[in-house]
Amino acid sequence: MSEQTWDAVDDYLSELLVPADPALAAALADSRAAGLPEIAVAPNQGRLLELLARMCGARRILEIGTLGGYSTIWLARALPDGGRLTSLEYEPRHAEVARANIARAGLADRVEIVVGAALDTLPELAAGGAGPFDLIFIDADKDNYPGYLDWSLRLSRPGTVLVADNVVRNGGVIEPDHADPRVRGVREFLARVAAEPRLSATALQTVGTKGYDGFAIALVEA
């Protein structure tokens, strides 16, 4: 099975099930024009995030890693009136592009982007009484995934859904001595998820326009 087939199937599914959307298309185009890395989730993955948020009735969402705001738009659209999404972004330029994309999508009133290293801003959120969040999406620097998990648990409640992207790393996740710190971070993250009694979790491999990777999903238990 070739990557060309993966891409073709992703395109078919997205075209069939995820209607074209001007705001989302513009968000990708403007992110590309601004020189942001082209690592946003695929359209069908964005729809999955939206559906998960709707399924769990999320009113408060935390996103770790904004990039150009593409996944932020998907998640924010799932919020009911009065819902709020807090997105953490390290790069000020990325946050600037994301704010413009989110405003064009008509979602600026329900999204706050916090700029800074997430391991610095997460304690500030907790100290300020943020949360508990109903859904937390982790999609940032992989070597810090273990720390993001720790703070996600502090900012969650029984019933919170945790989603972590890019946990397969082109198959590198099965290599205990992998040289890439991003792979080691993902492995430690998954090990902590497996050992955490408050979590029921699984992870799935994915192929498609984003290559060979996968995501983990967990439910916080009582």
Looking from the CA of 137 toward its CB, the CA atoms found within 13 Å total 32
Q: What's the confidence (pLDDT) of residue 1?
A: 65
Question: How many whole angstroms separate alpha carbon 145 and alpha carbon 148?
Answer: 5
- Helix 3-17 with 43-55: angle, nearest 10 deg: 50
pLDDT values of the chain reduced to their tens digit, one per residue, 222 residues? 678 999 999 999 999 999 989 999 999 999 999 999 999 999 999 999 999 999 999 999 999 999 999 999 999 999 999 999 999 999 999 999 999 999 999 999 999 999 999 999 999 999 999 989 999 999 999 999 999 999 999 999 999 999 999 999 999 999 999 999 999 999 999 999 999 999 999 999 999 998 999 999 999 998
